[in-house]
A = this chain, B = another copy of it.
Amino acid sequence: MPARGDHDARRRDVSAAVWRVLADRGFGGLTLRAVAAAMDASTGLLTHYFPSKKALVAYALDVADERTANRPLRDAPAPGLPALRAALLDVLPLTPDAVDMNRVWVGSWDGSLADPQLRDRQRVRYAKWRDRLRPHVEAAVRLGELPGTDPDGLVATAAAFTHGLVVHALFDPDAYPPNRQIELLDAFLTSLSH
């Protein structure tokens, strides 16, 4: 029986390999063989961890959740619009790590839409994300930075704009370099504030 430390180290190796495969080849390229190759291990070892493709995909989504939860975030700026801006910048693919992160999530959508449980898991993820954006919008409304007619609509609009920009930037990094993404976000936030 391996010591607890070995177990944790192995888990970290498996997670890193799964993440590498997802970032390079997406969920369509996520196979036991690819993960094994990425960690220089045998496929046999991995079947011990993942008895089925479904188990591997579920684990991959856990890894993505974990990496998303633990990624570095911007320091909290002033409440209201600046905090909303920071929260949206934290999502955009402005760095290589954030590109990988977004590429993995966008890649997860095909499988999530095909499976009622995974679809619901994703639905809840995005509803929770909007819940985290809402206080920033509400503060901006209180501060007179945003109109107060439909705060939920502003949250939904900001979330939609940001995820759409993610997709377009992933496909066309030359047309959407980081400074252009930021410029578009700032112009978008300015337009909301009128």
Contact = CB atoms under 8 A, between A and B. Distances in A.
Nearest to A29: B114
Mostly, the A contact residues are: helix
Given A109-B167, A127-B172, A160-B162, 19 more contacts: A106-B113, A108-B110, A109-B170, A110-B110, A119-B171, A126-B172, A150-B187, A153-B183, A153-B187, A157-B161, A159-B168, A160-B164, A161-B161, A162-B164, A163-B163, A163-B167, A167-B167, A191-B194, A194-B194
Contact of A191 (B106, B127, B191): B191
A188 interface: yes
Interface in A24-69: 24-29
A141 to B, nearest CB: 14
Nearest to A27: B110
A171 B26 CA distance: 19
